[in-house]
A and B are shown apart, each in its own frame.
Chain A
C-alpha cells in the first residue's frame, strides 16, 4: 500500500490509499480524484491522466518511456515533471508520493 496525495489546480489536496501493483491512474479514478479523466482506460493512448510529479519525487518516480513521451505530446502544458498516471505503478517506494493535476486535461 502507498499513500498518494493529489493536489488539484486550485491547491486542494486529497489523500488516497493505493494498492501495490495498481496504477496511480486507477487509484485516482477509484477515489474520484478530479482532474484525471483517463479517457482510454489506461492504454497509454489518450494523455488525459496527465500529472505533475512533485519535485521531491522525480528521481524516485523516474522518467517516462519513449512511448509515454510520444503520448505526452498530446497533453497540454507539459513540463519536465510531467507523467501519465496510467504508467506509474504503485509500490512501497511510492508511499507518500505527491502529484499535482493540471488545470485541465487536453
Chain B
C-alpha cells in the first residue's frame, strides 16, 4: 500500500482549465495535484486537436491546442504541480465536515489522496476506449473481448483477432504475436495510420505466414455464453467471411464518458455537474466543478469561461484551505507578494 498523498487541492482533469486552476490556486498558496486518465497533459486540446488553431483565447489571435497547453505549462511552472497521468479517479469520499471539508480520493492505479478541496475540471468526462456497436458484444467483454491490454500473459496461447489500423492495433499485434497461438489483424482498408515501421514489421510477419491480415469489418460475433468462437466479418465488396478466434481486441480510439463521477454523490444534470456562478461549487461543499463539465444558467462551453470559473473557485477554496487567513484581492501587475510567488519582478531579484 502506498502512502497517502496529502494535498491542499486535487484537480481532476489536466486540460487547459485544470491547468489554469493550478495558477489561480497557486497565487493563493494552495498546492495542487492533478489526475488525468490520459497519458499526457492537455486534455482535449492535446488529444483531439493539438494542431488545430483556436481563435477565441483572449490575447491570442491564434494558438494551437498544443500551443495553449505548452503556454499554460510554462505559466504554472512556478507552482510545481504534481501530475498523476494514466490514472482515473474511482471514488471520492467525504471524511470532513461541510465547514472543514476533507476528502479521500482513490484512483484506479491505487493512488490514494487526502485533499482539502477537489476541483473537477474533467471536460467531457474521461477518455475511454470506444466500444464498437457490434450486436451482443457486451456478453463477451472482460472474458473474450478487451479494449486494453493490461497483462500480456493473459493472452498467451490465445487465438486473437485484433481490429483497427492505428498504433494501438499494430503495437499489440506485434507484441502479442510471439505469445499468442495465432494473431489475425483486421482493418477496414489496406492502409494503416500506425507508424510505418510497425506496419512494415506486420507485413513481413504476414508474408512469412506467422500471422494473418484480413481487410474487412466485424459485423457480428459467435460464441457460447461469454466465450467467443468466431467473428462474422464483411469485406469491402460486402462478402461475408468468418474469422475463428477466442479473443478479440478492438482498437477504435477514444470517446468521452462521464465515468465514475456519476457515483460520487454529486447532483447531476444530463451528465453535467450543476455549479453556482459565485464560486462554482457543486452540491457538496469543498468540491468545485469548472470548465465543460459544469452547467449553470447561461453556460458557454468555452475555454475562457473555464478560466474565469477557475479564478472564482480558487478564491472560495482559499477559505477551506486557510480558514483563519483573510484573503486580500491582489493583482499580479502590482502585488510584490504575488510576483514573488511567480518568481518575477523586483521582489525576486
Contacts and interface: CB of A to CB of B under 8 A. Distances in A.
A54 to B, nearest CB: 17
B343 interface: no
B130 interface: yes
Interface size class on chain A is 10 to 19
A106 B255 CA distance: 9
Interface in A80-106: 80, 103-104, 106
A69 B192 CA distance: 10
Interface in B40-63: 44, 48-49, 52
A19 B255 CA distance: 30
Interface string A25-37: 0000000000000
A77 B220 CA distance: 11
Given A69-B191, A78-B188, A106 B132 contact: yes
Interface size class on chain B is 20 to 34
B83 interface: no
B48 A73 contact: no
B253 interface: yes
Interface in B164-223: 164-166, 187-189, 191, 193, 217, 219
A98 to B, nearest CB: 21
Interface string B210-254: 000000010100000000000000001000000000000000110
A104 to B, nearest CB: 5
Interface in A39-81: 39-40, 43, 45-48, 69-70, 72-74, 76-78, 80
B152 to A, nearest CB: 24
Contacts of B253: 47, 73-74
Contacts of B52: 43, 45
Given A39-B255, A39-B256, A69-B189, A74 B48 contact: no
A43 B48 contact: yes
B252 A74 contact: yes
Contacts of B217: 76-78
Contacts of A72: 188
Contacts of A47: 253
B51 to A, nearest CB: 9
Contacts of A76: 132-134, 217, 252
Contact of B130 (A40, A43, A74): A74
Contact of A45 (B48, B164, B252): B48
B130 A45 contact: no
Given A78-B188, A78-B217, A46 B255 contact: yes
Contacts of A69: 189, 191
Contacts of A103: 133
5 contacts: A39-B256, A45-B48, A70-B166, A73-B252, A74-B130
**3 shortest A-B CB distances, which residue pairs?**
A45-B48, A74-B253, A43-B49
Interface of B: 44, 48-49, 52, 124, 130, 132-134, 164-166, 187-189, 191, 193, 217, 219, 236, 252-253, 255-256
Given A40-B48, A70-B166, A80-B236, 4 more contacts: A40-B44, A76-B133, A76-B252, A78-B217
Interface of A: 39-40, 43, 45-48, 69-70, 72-74, 76-78, 80, 103-104, 106
